[in-house]
Structure 1
Amino acid sequence: MKLQKSKLLVSKVILLIVFIFFNAQGMKAQNNNTMKTHNLDTEAITDAIENYYFKGIYEGDAILLESIFYPGTLVYGDVNGQPYFKTADLYLDGVKNRQSPKDAGKPYKGEILNIKVVNSIAMAEINLKMYEFNYRDFLSFHKINGKWYIVNKMLTNVSE
């Protein structure tokens, strides 16, 4: 009788160990999936910044820029200490009607400093040098219907 209880106890312990082992493996796989999704989102945001935002500003392509701005987006900040506020439509109109850095033959450099993703929202900090300005932009992104859009832009100019 004692031997049978002992065997039963050993069997339960083995089952418990197996259960814990497989659950730990499952949790690890779940974390890997979360990490893969996070990496894919970061890559998608990087692509949007480099191939739409930076390129659109450099070339003065308001249509390209508009494709990553969500309707109703607002642009806030300061330039040389002066408050700056525009709707995305007014901002894009300004981009369309100014001479682009490309057409002016002026130096231009865009750099992604940081991207933070949490679920369907993200924040990107970028540095953008063009004309006599060195802009620091904070772009808020939201993933809507599987696509990352800029939903808010804040900017200021900083010294080198």
Structure 2
Amino acid sequence: MKTILLTAFMLWNFQGIKAQNTIKMENQIEIQAITDAIENYYFKGIYEGDEILLGSVFQPGTFLFGDVKGQPYFKTVDLYLDGVKNRQSPKDSGKPFKGEILHISVVNSIAVAELNVKMYDFNYRDFLSFHKINGRWLIVNKMLTDTSR
């Protein structure tokens, strides 16, 4: 009887470990997909001033909120992309640019990424909300603040 109970307990325990490992592996796959979206569309689009590339990672209708140099900041994604299109890109400015992913947290089909973006004379902290829509991770909200002070 002890052997049966011990065997049943071990099987139950190993099954839990396998489920946890599967969830961790799935999360790592999703984190990698979000990392790719940030690096290849968000950072690259900002750096190059490519509003089409940058816009492809945003869900239409997305809002951007925050503060820059202590002043409230609010834009629609369309206004933001128009600004990117009509300014000198960080690449063309000759000033340093560095995008860094600080943290990504995924729960089911939603995620939040915390980033640090150094460009021009600013050091931004961005919080991007993602939603997996039709198999793609898209930014559905952006909050930012200028931490240069």
Whether the TM-score (by the shorter chain) exceeds 0.5 is yes
Match of 1:144 among 112, 133, 144: 133
Structure 1 partner of 2:97: 108
Structure 1 partner of 2:38: 49
Structure 2 partner of 1:19: 8
Match of 2:53, SS state, is helix
Residue 54 of structure 1: how far off its partner (Å): 0.5
Cα deviation, 1:117-138, whole Å, max 9, x if unaligned, reads 1222111111111111111111
- When the two chains are superposed, the root-mean-square deviation of aligned CA atoms in Å is 1.3
Residue 105 of structure 1: how far off its partner (Å): 1.7
One-letter amino acid of the counterpart of residue 17, structure 2:
K
Aligned residue pair count = 149
Structure 1 partner of 2:26: 37
Distance in 1 (CA, whole Å) between partners of 2:66 and 2:110 is 21
One-letter amino acid of the counterpart of residue 137, structure 2:
W
Cα deviation, 1:53-104, whole Å, max 9, x if unaligned, reads 0000000011111111011110001111111111111101111111101112
**% identity of equivalent residues:** 65
Gaps of 5+ in 1: 1-9
Distance in 1 (CA, whole Å) between partners of 2:23 and 2:37 is 21
Alignment of 1:74-153 (within 5 A): 74-153=63-142
Distance in 1 (CA, whole Å) between partners of 2:107 and 2:130 is 10
Gaps of 5+ in 2: none
| Higher alpha-carbon deviation: 47-56 or 114-123 | 114-123
Residue 157 of structure 1: how far off its partner (Å): 0.5
Residue 14 of structure 1: how far off its partner (Å): 3.3
Match of 1:99, SS state, is coil
One-letter amino acid of the counterpart of residue 123, structure 1:
V
Structure 1 partner of 2:59: 70
Residue 154 of structure 1: how far off its partner (Å): 0.5
Distance in 1 (CA, whole Å) between partners of 2:37 and 2:92 is 22
Question: Considering only CA atoms, is the larger Rg found in Structure 1 or Structure 2?
Answer: 1
Distance in 1 (CA, whole Å) between partners of 2:148 and 2:52 is 30
Distance in 2 (CA, whole Å) between partners of 1:32 and 1:75 is 36
Distance in 2 (CA, whole Å) between partners of 1:159 and 1:105 is 19
